[in-house]
Amino acid sequence: MTLPRRKFLRLASVAAALPALSRAAIAQSYPTRPVRWIVPYPAGGATDLVARLMGQWLTERLGQPVIIDNRPGGGTNIGTQAAVSSPADGYTLLFTASTHTINVSLQTLPFNFLRDITMVSGLAELPLVLAVGPKVPVKTLAEFVGYAKTNPGKINVASFGSATISHLAIEFFKATVGIDMVHVPYRGGAQIMADLISGQIQAAIDSLPSALPHIRSGAIRGLALMSPARSPVLPDLPAANEIVPGLEVQTFSGIGAPSGTPAAIVERLNREINAGLADATIRARFADVGATPAIVTASAANAFVKAQTEKWAKVIKTAGIKAE
């Protein structure tokens, strides 16, 4: 049977529109039940606060509860595996962080993060800051580099854990400016700050949320942010790359989902999350803990994670870093 040309074209245009209509219908009907957001860190702290602020925003915007599911352990691997093993239906999300771009080069994992998780959005940058104790006779990054070069192997510099983004930032810093310092790994920021203030260690690269109150009080001295740009929280503190071109370590947190999650759902979530990150109240709450909102498309978030994974693979190989 031969269809008249006009009828054929009308049917063809309807058929072509069906995928778009289907995507729109999926996005409009989602979600119909609670959404689980796996956070592979313990409750409490800046990371958890950022997740809970956005979780509450999404609950209000989506009309269904977004339930924070803290799954710490294994350097984020336990929570990540739980997300990877979940259906790709938009009802399981994963809090992603810089750790996910590091672990792949340090461990044999039961999943491939770049393959098994698709990024939905950015969330926040929790910058790293280079700080020194009150007894260290320097006030700027340039002075510190000079001081380190005249005292090779005599400066103890702390990270918040071996093979963490903080440790890699130290190795990247040392290699970039050509200095020799002794890395001292800790298990979190609280003890770092206590020892930095007392003079047990001379320097640290720690998260800004951990160091911020001590910088503000004058108990320690912030020299530079490792992030690509200054933070509105401390606008007078320079970014390291202003003094040493190329010296930057961009931390990130974002939201991912199991690969295969419908594109319409990813687009809906990205839109709602970015609206939250632009909200004045949420931005102010982020600023309280030194976090900077990261408003990006899903494709940009995926590209960023891929580029960071490649960058840290090179640093890890060059520095000979091993997992504990």
CATH (domain of 301)? 3.40.190.150
Please determine, for residue 60, whether its predicted confidence score (pLDDT) is greater than 60: yes
Of residues 105 and 9, which shows the higher confidence score? 105
Residue spans of beta strands (DSSP E) within the chain: 35-39, 66-70, 92-97, 117-125, 128-132, 156-159, 182-185, 203-207, 221-225, 253-258, 292-293
**Two structure tokens written together for 149:** 């070069």
To 10 degrees, the CA torsion angle through 258, 91, 76, 117?
Answer: 10
Instruction: List Cβ neighbours of 188 (8 Å cut-off, separation of 6 or more).
Output: 160, 161
pLDDT confidence band for 1 (50 / 70 / 90)? very low
Q: Which residues contact 199 (CB under 8 A, 6 or more apart)?
A: 133, 134, 135
Instruction: Tell me the average pLDDT across 252-274.
Output: 97
Rounded alpha-carbon distances, angstroms, from residue 145 to 69, 118, 172, 176, 219: 43, 39, 14, 11, 21
Position 223 scores a pLDDT of 98
- Taking alpha carbons only, the member of 184, 178, 230 closest to residue 206 is 184
Among 242, 259, 275, identify where a domain stops.
242
88 and 115 part of one domain: yes
How does pLDDT run across 197-217, given as a tens digit for each residue?
999 999 999 999 889 999 999
Task: With respect to residue 299, please indicate whether it lies within any of the assigned structural domains.
Answer: yes
Residue 249 pLDDT > 90, yes or no?
yes
Average pLDDT over the chain, rounded to an integer:
91
| Mean predicted confidence (pLDDT) in 158-173 | 91
Query: Which residue is it, tokens 């295969």?
Result: 260
One domain, residues 136 and 216: yes
Backbone angles phi, psi at 294, to 5 degrees: -115, 95
For 296, the domain range is 34-126+251-319
Last residue of a domain, one of 211, 242, 273: 242
Listed residue (235, 248, 219) closest to 292, CA to CA? 235
pLDDT tops 90 at residue 17: no
Where is pLDDT greater, at 9 or 186? Answer: 186
Which of the four pLDDT bands, split at 50, 70 and 90, describes residue 44? confident
Q: For residues 212 and 164, state if they share a domain.
A: yes
Judgement on whether residues 167 and 261 belong to the same structural domain of the protein: no
Most confident listed range (98-107, 161-170, 258-267, 313-322) = 258-267
Does 2 map to a domain?
Answer: no
Please compute the mean of the pLDDT values over residues 151-167 and round it to a whole number.
92
Predicted pLDDT at 49: 86
State residue 235's pLDDT score: 93
**Domain contains 11:** no
Q: Which of 242, 264, 291 is the last residue of a domain?
A: 242
Please count the CA atoms within 13 angstroms of the CA of 132 that sit on its side-chain side.
17
pLDDT computed for residue 48 by the predictor: 85
Does residue 14 lie within any of the structural domains? no
Query: Does 29 fall in a domain?
Result: no
Counts for the chain of helices (H) and strands (E), in that order: 12, 11
- Per cent of the chain over pLDDT 70 is 91
Report the C-alpha gap between 119 and 266 in whole angstroms: 8
Q: Does the residue 157 lie in any domain?
A: yes
Confidence of residue 70 (pLDDT cuts 50, 70, 90): very high
> Is 279 found in the same domain as 211?
no
Domain identity same for 140 and 234: yes
Residues 221, 135: one domain? yes
How would residue 74 be classed by pLDDT, with cut points 50, 70 and 90? confident
| Mean pLDDT to the nearest integer, 59-74 | 95
Reading the block at residue 264, the tokens are 């319409």
What's the total number of domains in the chain? Answer: 2
Q: Is the pLDDT reported for residue 242 higher than 60?
A: yes
pLDDT digits (tens, 9 = 90+) for 84-94: 999 999 999 99
CATH of the domain at 182: 3.40.190.10
Work out the pLDDT band at 21, boundaries 50, 70, 90.
very low
When comparing pLDDT for 314 and 6, which is higher? 314
- Find the mean pLDDT for residues 142-171: 94
